[in-house]
Amino acid sequence: MLRINTLGCLAVAGDDGPVSGAAAQPRRLAILALLARAGDRGVSRSKIVAYLWPDSDEAHSRTVLSKALYALRRDLGGADVFTCGATLRLDRAVITADAIEFEEAITRGELERAASLV
Where along the chain do its domains lie? 2-117
Report the pLDDT value the prediction gives residue 95, as an integer from 0 to 100: 86
pTM for the model stands at: 0.86
Give the residues of the chain that fall short of pLDDT 70: 78-79
Q: What whole-number distance in Å separates Cα of residue 113 and Cα of residue 102?
A: 8
Report the pLDDT value the prediction gives residue 78, as an integer from 0 to 100: 65
Q: Answer yes or no: are the C-beta atoms of 76 and 13 closer than 8 Å.
A: no
CA angle 106, 42, 49 (to 5 degrees): 125
Report the pLDDT value the prediction gives residue 9, as an integer from 0 to 100: 87
Report the pLDDT value the prediction gives residue 109, as an integer from 0 to 100: 95
Q: What is the torsion angle, in degrees rounded to the nearest 10, for the CA atoms of residue 24, residue 99, residue 7 and residue 11?
A: -10
CA angle 15, 76, 118 (to 5 degrees): 60
CATH hierarchy code of domain 2-117: 1.10.10.10
Report the pLDDT value the prediction gives residue 21, as an integer from 0 to 100: 83
